Amino acid sequence: MKLKKLAGLIPLLYATSATAVEPFVVKDIRVEGIQRTEAGTVFSYLPVKVGDTLDDEHATQAIHALFATGFFKDVRLEVEQGVLVVLVRERPAIASIDVEGVKDFPKDQLRDNFKLVGLAEGRIFDRSVLDKAEQELKRQYVARGKYGVTVKASVTELERNRVAVRLDVEEGKVAKIRQINIIGHHAYSEADLRDMMKLDTPGWLGWFGSSDQYSKQKLSADLETLRSFYLDGGYLEFSIDSTQVSITPDKKDVYITINLTEGPKYTVSTIKLSGPESILPHEEMRQLITVKPGDTFSRKELTASTTKIGDRLGDDGYAFANVNAVPELDKEKHEVAFTFMFDPGLRAYVRRINIAGNTKTRDAVIRRELRQAEGGWFSATKVKKSKQKVDRLDFFSEVNVETPPVPGTNDQMDVNLSVKEKATGDFSIGAGISSGEGMVLTASVTERNLFGSGNYLSTQINTSKVNKVYSISYTNPYYTDDGMSRGFDVYQRNVDSTSTAVTQYKSSTMGAGLRFGVPISDDETLHYGLATEQTKLSLTSTSSQRFVDYVNIFGTSTTNLVGTVGWSRDSRDSVIYTTEGLVQHAFTELALPVSNQRYYKLTYQQQWFRPLSREVTLMLNGEGGIGGGYGGKPLPFFKNFYAGGPGSVRGFEPSSLGPRDSFNNALGGTRRIVGNAELLFPMPGMSKEKSVRLSAFADAGAVYGQGDMAGTSGLRYSVGLAFTWVSPVGPLKISYGKPVSQKPTDKVQKFQFTLGSIF
């Protein structure tokens, strides 16, 4: 049979007048030219089988199918004595990918990104994929402000139909914002408006942050900040007409121009209410509205008012309530009237609460924290509080809540709570350094969620040259179904004050105690307990005469039965990175009459956090304590109050404030007062990093009691800066405090730090 060649069939597919292929029956199929690809792979993609009749249409389909695999860069069909011969030329495989000149990204990260777009060692080389990877790399650099980046790709052919891919990168320099122009402002100066923006021109600290690097996302955020500022200030018709961003030809400088229209300032004329009073009385509704007639219009207050009304309806089960504030503008008088309208819809109840993701923690441990009940009316506040309570367990890295409506109903909802568990057991051996206590060695075994029951077990060993603590603690947070907790403690505490500013003595206390916690509300708890303690004392030749007299009267060994009663309240939004909330502690310690000593100690602490801006938080702290003896016995000197150093008045040596002996060592006292004011803010350029925080502080404090040295009593003040980092090895706290009211007898320590947890 005459040999018929179908080489060059592709051009024939697009020319209907070309010579047609004479149909024939395929007796066999042979594949030639493959090196890596299996023949079976070709047969699986080939739409022609032995026994089929091959014509123009089937030949076209066969070539298209093989090209579509991406394995081949050339495909030809030939016929030889009834045998269909498939001649292919494979695309080369990628033998290696090298990236040179990259400093901003780890090479492993780049290879992973290339793999996502299809460029990886061992894969078939495709020039379009390489171009895509090249553009993606440029995009990542542009996102970092490096508009002058150049990426040059080269491909080198190797033996065995392989190629080596190389990307040469010149990163260039980051383009800086040289000028920001705001056009159309009248009520506020351009400088004031620019101060609100995150983007800025280079300053003397420009090297430290990235505010002078342009990004589209940052600009969008700044425009929204300006819009919110004007709308909250009464400019109801404010608009941003356009923004222009231009880059100089050398790709080094960026110029931004913002065109805006302020419009007139509006005041609120009247407030009207609409909605069924049987669901929400209008008088109560009016109390939820913070926008009042005569006020300057504020979108923030308007949104807050509608949110409060929606939450109030949601607490009564109206989960699908629709609340709107409809405006009526008087453009001549520049006044706006609002009609607050609500449509409650049907009252919804919770059909089922579903919990997912807990493989270790028992369902009951999670359900006992929920404030929303199955079968009860839906409450938005209770659902939110339930999420907070589960989150505070600290058993999970993620807690998410969804409230989907039940399909086919209009008055039922499900609460789907999903969690992602994290490790709750710790075994650690570590070390810390304290400017007050020196080297601290620690070892602990802790399980916060024992066998998934939610119970807490901890053993700790902590050694320093001042305090040595050995303890075992166990807590069942739900000893009773209503949330009463019960715990046990066994401990030994050794104190050696010979290397501190405190009058020299040594003590060794062994104790065991039982404690209970009774919840008063979701944020408040009442604590009470009973412990027995045995303390052994030893003095040195330089110990205060007062301490010597005490030991001579009461001996070196004492046994006490100590009762405690306390109250705490904690409404902070976060324990690690607090921005708002209140913390209060009140505590009473009393040596019962059966004890060798008879004393009492009362302490109170209150911390108040309030955000001053999105990034700055004000913290105010106040502490007070008073102690004394009863039944003719004094407060034991080893129970005295102390102040000074980290945690009280920074800038002074730890425990150095208050009465002193003749050696200028602190005696402690029966009364203590401490006050702190602190501005907390993120590290510049690290606003999203919650483990690092800076602060400026002002401290005040004093310890009062019978003192031997004149001029040692009275309040002491200090101001300074502090740095806190929750590092992988423990919290690092550094402060520099400067005493303001220093006395000649005071012991100053301006630079103070702690690394690691000090128990």
State pLDDT tens for residues 570-593.
888 776 678 888 999 999 999 999
For residue 2, what pLDDT is reported?
A: 35
Residues in the chain: 759
Query: Which amino acid, residue 347?
Result: R
Do residues 526 and 623 share a domain?
Answer: yes
Query: Which amino acid, residue 188?
Result: Y
Which of 371, 311, 310, 383 lies closest to 340 in space, CA to CA?
310
Do residues 49 and 141 share a domain?
Answer: no
Do residues 601 and 748 share a domain?
Answer: yes
For residue 11, what pLDDT is reported?
A: 39
Do residues 198 and 113 share a domain?
Answer: no
Do residues 108 and 36 share a domain?
Answer: no
Q: Which of 283, 315, 343 is the last residue of a domain?
A: 343
Q: Which of 377, 398, 421 is the last residue of a domain?
A: 421
Rounded distance between C-alpha atoms, residue 683 and residue 694, angstroms: 6
Beta strands in 250-379 (DSSP E): 253-261, 267-274, 322-330, 335-343, 349-356
Q: How far is CA 423 from CA 156, 265, 301, 455, 475, in A?
A: 49, 55, 42, 14, 18
Do residues 9 and 55 share a domain?
Answer: yes
- Give the helix/strand (H/E) hosting 170: strand 162-170
Any domain includes 654 = yes
Do residues 123 and 58 share a domain?
Answer: no
- Residue 713 pLDDT > 60: yes
What does DSSP say about strands 599-611 and 617-629: parallel, antiparallel, or unpaired? antiparallel
Give pTM, 2 decimals.
0.56
Do residues 272 and 256 share a domain?
Answer: no
Lowest mean pLDDT among 247-261, 357-371, 681-695: 681-695
- Residue 656 pLDDT > 90: no
Q: Which residues contact 87 (CB under 8 A, 6 or more apart)?
A: 7, 32, 33, 75, 76, 77, 78
Q: Which of 170, 195, 229 is the last residue of a domain?
A: 170
For residue 13, what pLDDT is reported?
A: 37
From the CB of residue 199, how many other CB atoms can be counted at a distance below 10 Å?
A: 19
Give, rounded to a whole angstrom, the gap between the first and last alpha carbons of the chain. Answer: 96
Beta-bridge partners for 166: 98, 154
Cα radius of gyration (the chain): 38
- Give the helix/strand (H/E) hosting 422: none
Domain around 190: 176-261
Classify residue 306 as exposed, middle or buried by CB count within 10 Å of its CB (0-12, 13-18, 19+). Answer: buried
- Residue 709 pLDDT > 70: no
The tokens describing 119, both together, are: 């460029």
Rounded distance between C-alpha atoms, residue 265 and residue 169, angstroms: 53
Any domain includes 428 = no
For residue 497, what pLDDT is reported?
A: 76
Any domain includes 471 = no
Report the CATH number at residue 375: 3.10.20.310
Number of structural domains (the chain) is: 6
For residue 755, what pLDDT is reported?
A: 62
Which of 574, 581, 557 lies closest to 509 in space, CA to CA?
557
Pair 184, 206: CB distance under 8 Å: no
Q: Which residues contact 515 (CB under 8 A, 6 or more apart)?
A: 486, 487, 488, 489, 527, 528, 529, 530, 531, 564
Query: How does DSSP assign 404-453, residue by residue?
Result: PBPTT-SSEEEEEEEEEE---EEEEEEEEEETTTEEEEEEEEEESSGGGS
Rounded distance between C-alpha atoms, residue 19 and residue 6, angstroms: 11
- Give the helix/strand (H/E) hosting 89: strand 83-90
Rounded distance between C-alpha atoms, residue 527 and residue 514, angstroms: 11
Do residues 696 and 708 share a domain?
Answer: yes
Do residues 334 and 391 share a domain?
Answer: no
Pair 330, 301: CB distance under 8 Å: no
Pair 565, 527: CB distance under 8 Å: yes
Which of 275, 271, 383 lies closest to 322 in space, CA to CA?
275
At residue 488 the predicted structure's pLDDT band, cuts being 50, 70 and 90, is very high
Rounded distance between C-alpha atoms, residue 733 and residue 156, angstroms: 55
Any domain includes 56 = yes
pLDDT (tens digit, 9 = 90+) per residue, 98-151? 888 888 888 777 888 888 878 888 788 888 888 888 888 888 887 777 888 888
Query: Which amino acid, residue 750?
Result: K
Angle at 268 between CA 266 and CA 270, to 5 degrees: 145
Any domain includes 438 = no
Helix (H, G, I), strand (E, B) or coil at 28: strand
Residue with tokens 């040692």: 712
Rounded distance between C-alpha atoms, residue 690 and residue 668, angstroms: 37
Number of H-type helices and E-type strands within the chain: 12, 36
Which of 29, 64, 72 lies closest to 48 in space, CA to CA?
29
Pair 622, 721: CB distance under 8 Å: no
Locate all alpha helices (DSSP H) within 352-481, ordered by sequence: 363-367, 380-392
Query: Which amino acid, residue 482?
Result: D
**Nearest 10 degrees: CA dihedral of 569, 575, 580, 586?**
20
Rounded distance between C-alpha atoms, residue 244 and residue 270, angstroms: 40
Do residues 125 and 226 share a domain?
Answer: no
Q: How far is CA 643 from CA 422, 497, 722, in A?
A: 38, 14, 18
Rounded distance between C-alpha atoms, residue 721 and residue 737, angstroms: 7
For residue 218, what pLDDT is reported?
A: 84
Rounded distance between C-alpha atoms, residue 692 and residue 28, angstroms: 73
For residue 759, what pLDDT is reported?
A: 33
Any domain includes 480 = no
Q: How far is CA 253 from CA 83, 148, 178, 182, 207, in A?
A: 67, 10, 6, 18, 16
- Give the helix/strand (H/E) hosting 140: helix 127-143
- Residue 437 pLDDT > 60: no
Rounded distance between C-alpha atoms, residue 130 and residue 33, angstroms: 25
For residue 19, what pLDDT is reported?
A: 40
Q: CA 19, 23, 27, 29 torsion: positive or negative?
A: positive
Do residues 646 and 747 share a domain?
Answer: yes
For residue 501, what pLDDT is reported?
A: 63
The tokens describing 755, both together, are: 């690394």
Any domain includes 489 = no
For residue 329, what pLDDT is reported?
A: 93
Lowest mean pLDDT among 248-252, 429-433, 634-638: 429-433
Rounded distance between C-alpha atoms, residue 3 and residue 10, angstroms: 19
Beta strands in 571-670 (DSSP E): 581-591, 599-611, 617-629, 651-652
Rounded distance between C-alpha atoms, residue 414 and residue 354, angstroms: 8
Helix (H, G, I), strand (E, B) or coil at 450: helix
Which of 356, 409, 357, 401 lies closest to 379 in space, CA to CA?
401
Please compute the mean of the pLDDT values over residues 444-465 and round it to a whole number. Answer: 80
Q: Phi/psi of residue 640, each to 5°? A: -65, 160
Residue with tokens 């919110």: 228
- Residue 224 pLDDT > 70: yes
The tokens describing 532, both together, are: 């027995």
Any domain includes 43 = yes
For residue 441, what pLDDT is reported?
A: 55
pLDDT (tens digit, 9 = 90+) per residue, 545-565? 888 888 888 888 999 999 999
Choose between 518 and 435: higher pLDDT.
518
Which of 48, 59, 42, 57 lies closest to 26 in space, CA to CA?
48
